[in-house]
Amino acid sequence: MKKTIKFLKSSNFKLMLSALSIFAIMSCSTNDDNNANNNTEAIEEADVVDVVETSLAKETDGMSKSMETAVVYSAEQNVFTETPDLECGYLYNDAFNESHNSDNFSYDFSINRAYQLNCDDNGNALSLAYDMAYTGVYDAPRMASDDEGVVGYVLSGLSQQDDNVLFEGNYTRNGSQESKVRHMNMFTSTLVFDISNIAVSKTTYQIMSGTALVSFTGISSNGNEYHFNGTLTFNGDATATLVLNGNTYIINL
């Protein structure tokens, strides 16, 4: 069947052209919005897992490294003996730097530290209050970050008979993260570990047991805010089990 083509009058053609132009602009705007939505800026659970892992790992100067530093320094000050070098009740403070560079991991942190040995009436060490504030950067295979944070620990199990030092307190890390995997998201976050009865070996500095509550708040590059909560259980084999939104992950320390 032969189609008939009708030519529009000039005025009608101009009206239609204007309508088509408006429609085209609206379509482009809609497509741009869709494309923006398709660029995944949301902070995904996998991103949170990566932040938790790098905030725990020794290779990125995470929480496990901070506990090792606390145990090593306590031993250097003879806190685990009957004659500690620290004076009971006296507040000490110092500053130092921790850095590391290898093929896959690097970090560089400046740290301010305050600590106080608490004793009984007979001068026997009961606990060590150990606080830190730190700023720095790390780079890992899956993520890089510019961080700052605070640590508030109370150490017990200080006697020579104790194999492990027990940690209570919290570890907070604020950072600007850049993911290197998946959608390569960029975001800022605050991560808090509320720790309970974490046992750290005095000889290997490995976390042997304990738990922590995990609280994550992140803001994506488009300004949306995300919240995740979970739990950590330390397994004694240089790993921890993270449960986040009912999903289980094994974290390397």
On whether residue 72 sits in a domain, the answer given is: yes
Q: C-alpha distances in angstroms, 182 versus 50, 59, 138?
A: 11, 22, 19
pLDDT (0 to 100) of residue 13: 34
On whether residue 243 sits in a domain, the answer given is: yes
Q: What six digits make up the tokens of 36?
A: 């923006």
pTM over 0.85: no
Number of domains, the chain: 1
Contact 193, 171 (CB under 8 A): yes
On whether residue 21 sits in a domain, the answer given is: no
Quick: pLDDT tens for 110-122.
999 999 999 999 8
User: Which residue intervals of 6-165 are DSSP H helices?
Assistant: 10-38, 45-56, 63-76
Least confident of 20-29, 48-57, 176-185: 20-29
Band (148; pLDDT cuts 50, 70, 90): very high
pLDDT at 158 over 60: yes
Quick: pLDDT tens for 181-203.
888 889 999 999 999 999 999 99
pLDDT at 104 over 70: yes
- Identify the domain containing residue 215 by its residue range: 44-252
Quick: pLDDT tens for 18-36.
443 433 434 444 444 433 3
Percent of the chain with pLDDT over 70: 84
On whether residue 226 sits in a domain, the answer given is: yes
On whether residue 133 sits in a domain, the answer given is: yes
Average pLDDT value for residue range 145-165: 96
Percent of the chain with pLDDT over 90: 79
Rama region for 78: left / alpha / beta (φ>0; ψ in -120 to 50; rest): left
Task: Name the β-bridge partners of 128.
Answer: 117, 155
Cα separation, 174 vs 192, in Å, equals 9
